[in-house]
Amino acid sequence: MILVTGGAGFIGSHIVDALLERGVEVRVLDMLLAAAHRERPDYLDPRAEFVEADVRDPETIAGALDGVSAVCHQSAMVGLGLDLGDIADYVSHNDLATAQVIRALARKPVPLVLASSMVVYGEGRYRCAEHGVVRPGPRAPEELDAGNFEPPCPVCGRSLTAEAVPEDAPLDPRSVYAATKLAQEHLANAYMRETGAPVTSLRYHNVYGPRMPRDTPYAGVASIFRSSLAAGKAPRVFEDGGQRRDFVHVRDVARANVLALETGTPGAFNVCSGTPRGVGDMAAALARATDGPDPVVTGEWRGGDVRHVFASAEKARTELGFTAEEDFEAGMREFAEAKLRA
């Protein structure tokens, strides 16, 4: 029996499907948080045992762990977390929840797979022609207002070349959400050190695909663009559209979780396609798939956003055995037609 917390969600439900397809018994624990769900979703496979409850409740999590051989911890409050008025909610849903899971697991340790995120890196990896690999600081508002979106070398101020981020890159969370995801990793690693049970932290990059939430704090940029196109409006692309990310299909993310559960390989791993793309390129691909209007590049920017962060897929390939398989253009076409979750 595998326990999947947040198993009614976008990514969690695909993990549930992938496990059930392999003949694994699955128990789902999900509180159906109002910000993410109106009701129990109809896509949740009835073969999975479903417990509607709060993972932060000690009695609930203790009961949910009965007979479980591994835990796939997907439940979280997501988003940039820019409003400090929400900080306690992020810490509660992400870090307190993880602490409650770990405290219960410590009584009978089993492998733990944790949903982490690329946001723990902050800005991506950059190289200066003169100073080598450098870590630029947060971008200055006055530079962003002037349309200077590329971060300069913090030593000489020259232009930088963005590179794929490996898992051993310095961690530099730059939002409340990012800080809570890194704290989850630290808590999970403490559990591994104390009990010897393997912990696999999967750092998801930009996940897209069917069941993605629409028009909620949980909606990603792909979902926001899709909603605009469905309304006959052009996607609005911030900055100049050249900010690069790694867009990975949710079925690939589910496969990575299954591999982590099957192998028990400890460590942190990027879960990505391995192919960086501009946000503007993604918007254009989605517009093509829907025969919708071309994206509009607005020049707007958001505090807390980073310029480039895309991943090295090498460690996941060699140590976890994971390589993304879903085709991007086909995935965009599927996403253009898929039902989004209200």
Average pLDDT value over all residues in the chain: 92
Q: How many CB atoms lie within 10 A of CB 67?
A: 9
Distance CA(45)–CA(26), nearest Å, equals: 10
Tokens 């690069």 belong to 244
Tens of pLDDT, residue by residue over 117-152, are: 999 998 899 999 999 999 998 889 999 999 999 999
Distance CA(243)–CA(277), nearest Å, equals: 8
Question: For residue 100, what is the enclosing H or E element?
Answer: helix 97-105
**Which residues face 117 on adjacent strands?**
204
Distance CA(219)–CA(159), nearest Å, equals: 33
Mean per-residue pLDDT for 109-117? 98
Rank 71-85, 255-269, 325-339 by mean pLDDT and report only the highest: 255-269
Q: Full-prediction pTM beyond 0.85?
A: yes
pLDDT tier for residue 218 given thresholds of 50, 70 and 90: very low
Tokens 């949910």 belong to 64
CB contact at 8 A, 94 and 180 = yes
Predicted confidence at residue 74, as pLDDT, reads: 97
Question: For residue 184, what is the enclosing H or E element?
Answer: helix 176-195
Q: SS3 for 134?
A: strand
Predicted confidence at residue 34, as pLDDT, reads: 67
| Structural domains of the chain sorted by starting position, each given as residue range(s) with its CATH number in brackets | 2-124+165-337 (3.40.50.720)
* Strands 267-271 vs 199-204: parallel, antiparallel or unpaired: parallel
Q: Hey, what amino acid is at 285?
A: A
* Strands 206-208 vs 247-249: parallel, antiparallel or unpaired: parallel
Tokens at 193, concatenated = 């050190």
Based on the number of CB atoms within 10 Å of its own CB, is 143 exposed (0-12), middle (13-18) or buried (19 or more)?
middle
Q: What's 80's DSSP letter?
A: -
Lowest average pLDDT, out of 111-125, 215-229, 250-264, goes to 215-229
Rank 38-42, 224-228, 242-246 by mean pLDDT and report only the highest: 242-246
Mean per-residue pLDDT for 230-257? 95
52 sits in the region (left: phi over 0; alpha: psi -120 to 50; else beta) called beta
Q: Which residues of 312-328 are buried (b: 16+ CB within 10 A; e: fewer)?
A: bbebbeeebebebebeb
- Phi first, then psi: give them for residue 318, nearest 5 degrees: -80, -35
